[in-house]
Copies of this chain bind each other. A is one copy, B any other.
Amino acid sequence: MTDASPTAAVLIIGDEILSGRTQDTNLNTIARFLAALGIDLKEARTVGDETAQIVGALNALRATHDYVFTTGGIGPTHDDITADAVAQAFGVALPEHPDALAILEKRYAPGEFNAARRRMARVPEGGTLIANPVTDAPGFQIGNVFVMAGVPKIMTAMLEDVAPRLRKGVVVHAATIRVSGVGEGTVADILTAAAKADRELSFGSYPFGHGSVGEIGTNLVVRGRDQARLKAAVEALVGELKAAGISASRSSP
């Protein structure tokens, strides 16, 4: 893989993920979003609603990746402390952003726009808004950090406004070879040889049918930025597998 593509990290914020109450899906949504833009997602962290934890993780991630995407903790209640933590991480104040204030004042009827909801207008100094077409209350960008909602529907919608701000990389293409009738241990040597033959590509093996009486096998996933090399490697790998008497066929895309 070329070093020219940007790297990214994700920071999932919320006690509800760590308590097991909620199954996170935002990481997968962001991962697929970044893959389509050719941006390499290198790591993700999940922390609870604790300022010190958020600040520590954010400062570690933003120093080592081109982009950081956070989800969660930007609502109106007392446990929504992400904006405070981000401001602390950057060492800046957290004033009300006039545009955010205007958006929220417009959304709520007089009397409904209380102090709690007004908290959602606070943006770390120097930040710009991220549009929320679902419930209006915006996210924000500061430096290389994009702060988004935790509700998957809102987070996904916010990515639309984030995409144009990102430097794109070269997209990584993937091809899957379905191997059936044998476990991954049977194809491991052939796969290792293929991985050694082209180190610009990545080769993964994802077995299925574990321990059951039904069909067993493994999906071999080859990934790389150069489509010609990818195609050549996949054809060579399928050829090697068939030559060894193993049932293998390219199943996608």
Q: What residues of chain A have their CB less than 8 Å away from a CB belonging to chain B?
A: 15-25, 27-28, 31-35, 41-49, 53, 57, 75-79, 108, 112, 114-117, 120, 134-135, 151, 153-154, 172, 174, 183-189, 191-192, 195, 202-207, 210-211, 221, 223
Contact = CB atoms under 8 A, between A and B. Distances in A.
Contact of A25 (B23, B45, B49, B153): B23
B35 A28 contact: no
Nearest to A104: B185
Max count, chain B CB within 10 A of own CB: residue among A18, A75, A223: A18
Given A28-B24, A31-B17, A189-B114, A79 B41 contact: no
Given A77-B205, A184-B77, A204-B79, A46 B48 contact: no
9 contacts: A15-B202, A18-B42, A19-B172, A19-B174, A20-B31, A21-B174, A75-B205, A114-B189, A135-B210
Contacts of A183: 76
A200 to B, nearest CB: 15
A151 B207 contact: yes
Query: 9 closest Cβ contacts across the A-B interface?
Result: A116-B188, A20-B31, A20-B32, A117-B185, A134-B211, A44-B46, A76-B185, A78-B192, A77-B205
Max count, chain B CB within 10 A of own CB: residue among A34, A115, A135: A135
Contacts of A27: 17, 24, 46
A21 B75 CA distance: 30
A195 B15 CA distance: 15
* Identical copies in the complex: 2
Contacts of A31: 17-20
Nearest to A76: B185
Contact of A192 (B77, B207, B221): B77
Contact of A43 (B16, B47, B116): B47
Nearest to A18: B41
B32 A42 contact: no
